Amino acid sequence: MKGTRLSCRSFDANAVCLQLYALAYNLGSFLRTLAIPEAIAEWSLTTLREKPIKIGAKVVSHGRYVAFQMAGIAIPRKLFAAIVEGIVALRSPPLATAT
């Protein structure tokens, strides 16, 4: 978590930074346990952050859909689709409206 490399000058600011780092780590760990396919379950959080998220992509809009054009070297298409499907499955169902 790099708790020894905090860059702020005041103790309070460093405390907030450390809490944000801990929150980001816990969120990443939470998503890894719920939304990541078994094929990449052993990847570290750093690898999960760098491979599917920190790669360059071009967003192309065609009429009714939006496409992400990205290099297939970083992560295969089927694996990326499985990650996105896992994240989408975490969404709560829509609330019923009272009429």
Domain ranges of the chain: 11-88
Q: Which residues contact 83 (CB under 8 A, 6 or more apart)?
A: 35, 36, 37, 40, 52
Average pLDDT along the chain: 79
H helices of the chain, where? 11-35, 45-50, 77-88
Mean pLDDT to the nearest integer, 42-50: 80
Whether residue 99 is predicted with pLDDT greater than 70 in this model: the reply is no
Across 1-10, 33-42, 43-52, 60-69, least confident range:
1-10
Cα separations in angstroms, 16 against 3, 4, 26, 63? 11, 14, 15, 44
Name beta bridge partners: 30.
none
Mean pLDDT to the nearest integer, 5-33: 82
